[in-house]
Amino acid sequence: MSTTTKDVEQPRVMKEMSFLDRWLPVWILAAMAVGLLLGRFVPGLNTALEAVKIGSVSLPIAIGLLVMMYPVLAKVRYDETRRIGADRRLLVTSLVLNWLVGPALMFGLAWIFLADLPEYRTGLIIVGLARCIAMVLIWNDLACGDREAAAVLVAINSVFQVIAFGALGWLYLQALPSWLGLPTTSAEFSIGAIVLSVLIFLGIPLVAGFLTRVLGERAKGRTWYEERFLPKVGPWALYGLLFTIVLLFALQGDAILSAPGDVARIALPLLVYFVVMFLGSFLLGRAIGLDYAKSTTVAFTASGNNFELAIAVAIGTFGVTSGQALAGVVGPLIEVPVLVALVYVALAMGRRLFPGDPTVPTR
């Protein structure tokens, strides 16, 4: 992509961001506040939410989780996974960072910062296992990363999670702690429960998103699908997320208000994780010879997490009022503003680390 194109792309992406996207941290904070108020002033809310369940998840929350997952997966260009063969360095680097380095780093941070809080520690590890999906495309676009490479990596991560999440859950929650002589997750914990949660809350929207794109493009074409259909369904991901956060905080209100320090302790390792993963991945991309655009894409796809899936798995496995669910909810509160800030870090570092690279934006 030429420098001239890069000059206009960042402002265009900013204009394309919806009002909800631009102010997402504010909406998350507002949803948390509304949830706390509901939990305090609406008696019997917990009983009402638990009256009807899908598996171990109450029906309203299950609906919210599915609604927030589907639009994100409907955006993925699944057919572009075939293009990744042109640059194997990109694929191998991304897979190593996403499925080896990222989960291992979050595991280490969880034990360093939350060794005495096993529920939060487990929730944080689950966040680390839930790798990036389509929302990272927003941050990648803002930093003028490689759009096509980002779409490919997101598609691969989306499919790979269905296969790998349960096995990684067993490794980091039971096997590895046992090998290191650390306490494992409670005996009541079931890897089968994680697999079932992934199949329901990732598998169903993944299939629905794939079929929607294939059938939609076949019937109306890609231009109609991406310029007419996706803008209509896209906001529902955030509606579903905010709806779920409201209900979670309504049920978690007592735990949150009685221990705000715990929320701060969850936030600290998340902050360290996002910064370390991004900077390390960005510098690694440059070291192996990737250009600015691809290095940026590798960095954002490695540092971003699928917090929707982490929340769904935590709720489905441990319950809506669990510490694991609370840790999952804190994830987007920290991730969104940090990754927005890292957009500016990428732009500033790009001009210094990639002199003469035509993919570096000049503004």
Q: Is the pLDDT of residue 9 over 50?
A: no
Q: What is the pLDDT of residue 277?
A: 96
The residue range of the domain holding 222 is 3-353
Residue 360 lies in a domain: no
pTM for this prediction: 0.75
Using a 10 angstrom Cβ sphere, with 0-12 exposed, 13-18 middle and 19 or more buried, the burial of residue 355 is exposed
Residue 287 lies in a domain: yes
Residue 361 lies in a domain: no
What's the total number of domains in the chain? 1
The two structure tokens encoding residue 125 = 């590890």
CB atoms within 10 A of CB 171: 18
Full DSSP string of 181-240: TPPPS-TT--HHHHHHHHIIIIIHHHHHHHHHHHHHHHHH-HHHIIIIIHHHHTHHHHHH
Residue 359 lies in a domain: no
User: What CATH number does residue 81 fall under?
Assistant: 1.20.1530.20
The tens digit of pLDDT for each residue in 346-357 reads 989 998 899 888
Q: What is the pLDDT of residue 6?
A: 44
Residue 363 lies in a domain: no
The tens digit of pLDDT for each residue in 88-117 reads 788 889 999 999 999 999 999 999 999 999
d(CA 104, CA 107): 5
The tens digit of pLDDT for each residue in 261-305 reads 888 999 999 999 999 999 999 999 999 999 999 999 999 999 988
d(CA 334, CA 266): 10
Residue 198 lies in a domain: yes
- Cβ–Cβ < 8 Å for 303, 281: yes
Residue 362 lies in a domain: no
d(CA 106, CA 357): 33
**Lowest mean pLDDT segment, chosen from 66-75, 91-100, 136-145, 194-203:** 194-203
Q: Is the pLDDT of residue 120 over 90?
A: yes
Q: For every residue of 10-34, which 3-state class applies, written as one string?
A: HHHHHHHCCHHHHCHHHHHHHHHHH
Residue 76 lies in a domain: yes
Question: What mean pLDDT comes out for the span 312-340?
Answer: 81
Q: Is the pLDDT of residue 180 over 50?
A: yes
Place of tokens 């993925």: 76
